[in-house]
Amino acid sequence: MSGPALRQLHAHRAIHEGGLSGAIMKTEELMKHLRDGEVETANLAADDLIEYWETRVIAHADAEESGFYLEVSEENPSLKDAVTMLTRDHDLLRIIIQDLKELRAEEGLSPAVLQKFYALQIVNEIHSRDEERLLFES
């Protein structure tokens, strides 16, 4: 069974907004270190940012998939396609993170790595907006 915060729009939205705003803040911090030529500190910030995505955003996605999405699908079978689409969004986030880690190991903090950090923000923002619309406002 999912926790009560996942079932209430205002609380769920707060989780989404907090996760995304934290990722944006940490990305801005990373970029500042790069602009200032602080390569070692930027690498530490990149490690922290990856960990943030995994422990904050992906952990939330895991919780949704293991409880909330199952409950929503059982309560309202017409939302099964929406849940499938939202789960795919989570998979995209996981894929981007894995690609980012591999690319970072090969290239360090290259422009392609930085683009993947921004891609995570975009996918997450669209996903959260769609999730709120499809599961709470329908």
What pTM was estimated for this model as a whole?
0.94
Please give the tally of structural domains in the chain.
Answer: 1
Contact criterion met (CB below 8 Å) for 58 and 96:
no
Residue-number span of the structural domain to which 132 is assigned: 4-136
Per-residue pLDDT tens digits for 54-95 = 999 999 999 999 999 999 999 999 999 999 999 999 999 999
Instruction: Report the b/e string of 54-77 with b at 16+ CB within 10 A.
Output: eebbbebbebbeeebbeebbeeee
- Residue-averaged pLDDT of the chain: 95
- Predicted confidence band of residue 1 (pLDDT cuts 50, 70, 90): low
> What is the model's pLDDT at position 4?
73
Closest residue by Cα to residue 15 from 127, 116, 94, 98: 127
Q: Check whether 115 has a pLDDT greater than 70.
A: yes
